[in-house]
A = this chain, B = another copy of it.
Amino acid sequence: MEAGFVGLGIMGRPMALNLLRAGHRLRVWSRRAESMRPLIDAGAIACDSAAQAAQGAQVVFSMVADAPDVKQVALGERGVADGAARGCVFVDMSTIAPGAARSIAARLAERGIDMLDAPVSGGEAGAISGSLTIMVGGNSNAFERVRPLFECLGKSITLIGDSGAGQVAKACNQVVTGISVAVIAEAFNYARVNGVDGERVREALLGGFAASRILDNHGGRMLARNFKPGFKAWMHQKDLRIVLDEAHRLGIALPAAAATAQLFNAMSGSSLGEDDSIGVLKLYERLSGGVGP
């Protein structure tokens, strides 16, 4: 397929490479020209704007930092809307507020461009291995057209609902994963201060209702004291801020998410922001019972 890809950072670059490797023709653009180099080496066509990346493309992806960036890529000067033909699908895979996604989709619809919000979970490792979880909002016709490309990027691909629903599911995912990481650190720290081996606790809990991928994967890395990201604490902090802002706007109480956001705030404010979010264990250790080994 003819596709465009805008935003070639930690996540976007390996995702674009997976599309190229699957045989799709790819036009790429990134604000930082040097980010395009590995893609050009792999056969992508370098462009000088999002508009040019969208020219002749059936699908244009974006993977950028936040809602203003998506808006700029989609609707700004020399943006996707300036280059894309009617019938093109714009697929934003960034994590932004559901309301922002809906608003950009409505503006693009006026120009004859379908938009899917398709944020992902699985981090850099999932992006590299093509095993991301992709949560999609938008119409099912556009979803079906893009599906062959999604299958180059992820393993679990779900059309959640209408425009914005992908971002709602991603918000749920970040709330559940963030709090799960925090509570497992909380439990391991409680065990340590009680003189109990966290690894034995982890094994026992994996045999019952407490079993989870976070306990298995993130819990294992915590106990190995491997705090290398993965997914940085300040990024999880940013995602929770998006959810909490939207919850404020809509009048939804998220007490567990709010409490956990405070922990990620404290990490960012105390030199732990560049750690993986599992570094929240160090914060618990500082709070109580001294610092672990």
B-contacting residues of A (Cβ < 8 Å)? Answer: 98, 121-122, 133, 135, 155-156, 158-162, 164-165, 168-169, 171-173, 175-177, 179-180, 182-184, 186-191, 193-197, 200-201, 203-205, 207-215, 217-218, 243, 247, 250-257, 259-260, 262-263, 284, 287-289
Most buried by B among A187, A188, A215, A260: A187
**A201 close to B169 (CB less than 8 A):** yes
* Option from B193, B197, B254, B262 in Cβ contact (under 8 Å) with A160: B197
The 7 closest A-B pairs by CB, nearest first: A156-B207, A212-B212, A133-B208, A172-B187, A158-B204, A121-B208, A253-B287
**B179 close to A179 (CB less than 8 A):** yes
Bound state CA distance, A280 and B253, in angstroms? 13
A-side binding surface: helix, strand, loop or mixed? Answer: helix
**B205 close to A169 (CB less than 8 A):** yes
Bound state CA distance, A197 and B262, in angstroms? 29
Closest to A283 in B: B253
CB distance from A147 to the nearest CB of B (A): 15
**A207 close to B158 (CB less than 8 A):** yes
Known A161-B196, A164-B194, A196-B160; contact A205-B172, beta-carbon cutoff 8 A: yes
**B194 close to A98 (CB less than 8 A):** yes
* Option from B176, B186, B252 in Cβ contact (under 8 Å) with A205: B176
Q: Which residues of B contact A190 (CB under 8 A)?
A: 168, 171-172, 175, 243, 247, 252, 254
Most buried by B among A218, A254, A256, A289: A256
Closest to A187 in B: B172
Q: Which residues of B contact A156 (CB under 8 A)?
A: 204, 207-208
**B176 close to A187 (CB less than 8 A):** yes
> 27 A-B contacts, Cβ less than 8 Å apart?
A98-B194, A121-B208, A155-B207, A156-B208, A160-B200, A160-B201, A165-B196, A169-B196, A169-B201, A172-B187, A172-B190, A173-B209, A175-B183, A176-B183, A176-B210, A179-B256, A180-B183, A190-B247, A190-B252, A209-B218, A210-B213, A210-B214, A211-B212, A211-B213, A212-B213, A251-B288, A256-B256
